[in-house]
Amino acid sequence: MRPALDGTNRTGGRNPFAWAEYDGLPPAVRRVIMFAPTSLGSRRARMNLLKGRTVAEVCAIERGVAIGITRRDILEAYGPDHPFLSKAHVA
């Protein structure tokens, strides 16, 4: 992630993150973002909540995104024979 140049604490990139957005999320969504195995932004979760999705749906979306990013990174680094990419983790 790259820091913003306007003096705020938000970051840009593929998964933009801002503490103000993060602090406004429900605790369950904040936990998913905080303990994800990869960097997840706050923007997608906030926008999904504003669109009317439930907290459970937003948590499921964020978990799915985290698994997808992790899977992509493992494929790039280790190839398709890595144990994480077993049938249980392939969607």
In this structure, is residue 49 part of a structural domain? yes
In this structure, is residue 4 part of a structural domain? no
Tell me the pLDDT tens digit for each residue of 3-49.
Answer: 554 445 555 567 788 899 999 999 999 999 999 998 899 999 999 99
Mean pLDDT of 63-91: 83
How many domains in the chain?
A: 1
Does the structure show a pLDDT above 60 at 62? yes
- DSSP-derived secondary structure letter, 86: S
Q: Which residue bears the tokens 């994480």?
A: 84
In this structure, is residue 11 part of a structural domain? no
What is the pTM for the complete model shown? 0.77
In this structure, is residue 2 part of a structural domain? no
Task: Determine how many CB atoms are found less than 10 A away from the CB of residue 42.
Answer: 23
More confident residue, 75 or 8: 75
In this structure, is residue 72 part of a structural domain? yes
Identity (one letter) of the amino acid at 37?
P
Q: Give the structural domain span for 26.
A: 19-85
In this structure, is residue 51 part of a structural domain? yes
Q: Which residue bears the tokens 């999705």?
A: 53
pLDDT band at 1 (very low <50, low <70, confident <90, very high): very low
In this structure, is residue 36 part of a structural domain? yes
In this structure, is residue 76 part of a structural domain? yes
Predicted pLDDT of residue 14:
74
Does the structure show a pLDDT above 80 at 52? yes
